[in-house]
Amino acid sequence: MPTIQVLNISKTYRNGVKAVEDVSLVFNEGIYALMGPNGSGKTTTLNIIGGVLKPDKGEVSIQGYSMWGDGYIEARKRVGIAIQDMPFFNYLTGIDNLIYIGLLRGLSISEAGRRARKLLRDVGLWNSRRRRVSSYSGGMRRRLAIAASLIHDPDIIILDEPASGLDPKSREELWSLLLEICGDKTIIFSSHDGYEVERFSQYVYLFHRGRVVEEGEPRELIERYVPHPQAIVWFEGGEPPDVDGVKPLVIGSTARYSLDGVEVDDVLNAFRVRGLTLRKIEIVEPSLSEVFIRLTGEELS
């Protein structure tokens, strides 16, 4: 039995925006990513899986217990979620917030206190534990949210854009911390950063306009869709040319050429011959971001 089974979930917000439509996912042990640009439905999906947002249709099963049906208590015991802009009592300290959440999750007060102290050490907030959360920086709040999601030692951790807004060094630190404290738990996280997903996830679902457009292991997806480096050309003045029979992928004023037997000089010459103004050219290595662009014709961010 899969750890989490998501079957045909749909969600339309009250303003009429269809956030998620007929999405089905399966998660077992490991680290999973939901990747897509803002508004693609990944946060809505995570919130539905984590028990924060009720779907209009569909089922979420956590180790056999329905997240939105009769077994919701058992299902919620098994999941910890750190949503974006995690809500805390701003006038309480970090440790008080964690103990409160621990009690909500059914821990005894002594156990909640013990877990809170351990997690505050783990996420590097020990020295700030007695400060009010209102004085925490964005990064500190994010680390507190991760601690909150782990307070009841769940099997499954859901993290919505855990490294969003962090510089590369902080992001690496956060992930090494996550990998260390989450151990062998199932982690599901969302991101619009292809590099982060490639680097840390074992399996990825690509989201576009509320639907899953592709899924698989990051390496396998890259090899399937974008096995070669890409030349990205910023141009003006007309239609970009084909190069050695290779059609470019055009997005706005950029054209992408797969450098599969095509050299960069060939691309430059083709533009020169066509008489187009070439503003800039960039060579990028195969990546999940390029896979997403190849599949959807849109950029991740």
Give me the torsion for CA of 245, 248, 249, 255, rounded to 10°. 180
* Residue 238, phi-psi category: left (phi > 0), alpha (psi -120 to 50), beta (remainder): left
Least distance from other proteins to the Cβ atom of residue 73, Å: 5
Distance CA 121, CA 98 (A): 13
Q: Is there binding between residue 131 and other proteins (CB under 8 A)?
A: no
Residue of the chain from 26, 103, 250, 251 that contacts other proteins (CB under 8 A): 103
Q: Is there binding between residue 87 and other proteins (CB under 8 A)?
A: yes
Query: In the complex with other proteins, which residue's Cβ is closer, 47 or 230?
Result: 47
Q: Is there binding between residue 96 and other proteins (CB under 8 A)?
A: yes
User: Three-state SS for 189?
Assistant: strand
Q: Is there binding between residue 17 and other proteins (CB under 8 A)?
A: no
Query: In the complex with other proteins, which residue's Cβ is closer, 54 or 121?
Result: 54
Distance CA 122, CA 143 (A): 10
Query: In the complex with other proteins, which residue's Cβ is closer, 14 or 169?
Result: 14
Instruction: Name the nearest CA neighbour of 60 among 24, 103, 13.
Output: 24
User: Three-state SS for 157?
Assistant: strand
Query: In degrees, to the nearest 5, what angle opens at C-alpha 145 toward C-alphas 143 and 130?
Result: 70
The residues with which 188 forms a beta bridge, in sequence order, are: 32, 158
Beta strands 31-35 and 186-191: pairing type? parallel
Least distance from other proteins to the Cβ atom of residue 119, Å: 16
Residue of the chain from 6, 31, 81, 120 that contacts other proteins (CB under 8 A): 81
Residue of the chain from 18, 118, 132, 199 that contacts other proteins (CB under 8 A): 132
Residue 222: alpha-carbon gap to chain centroid: 17
Applying CB under 8 A, the span of 90-98, 185-193, 201-209, 250-258 interacting with other proteins comes to: 90-98
Distance CA 277, CA 253 (A): 11
The residues with which 246 forms a beta bridge, in sequence order, are: 243
Q: Is there binding between residue 106 and other proteins (CB under 8 A)?
A: yes
Query: In the complex with other proteins, which residue's Cβ is closer, 132 or 211?
Result: 132
For residue 261, give every residue at least 6 positions away whose Cβ sits within 8 Å of its Cβ, in sequence order, or none: 244
Q: Is there binding between residue 109 and other proteins (CB under 8 A)?
A: yes
Residue of the chain from 89, 219, 269, 282 that contacts other proteins (CB under 8 A): 89
- The answer to whether residues 291 and 214 touch, using CB atoms and an 8 Å cutoff, is yes
- DSSP 8-state class, residue 32: E
Using CB under 8 A, which residues numbered 32 to 61 contact other proteins?
47, 50-54
Query: In the complex with other proteins, which residue's Cβ is closer, 88 or 175?
Result: 88
Applying CB under 8 A, the span of 24-32, 81-89, 172-180, 243-251 interacting with other proteins comes to: 81-89
Q: Is there binding between residue 73 and other proteins (CB under 8 A)?
A: yes
Using CB under 8 A, which residues numbered 133 to 152 contact other proteins?
148
Residues of this chain that bind other proteins (CB under 8 A): 14, 47, 50-54, 72-77, 79, 81, 83, 85-87, 89, 91-93, 96, 99-101, 103-109, 112, 132, 148
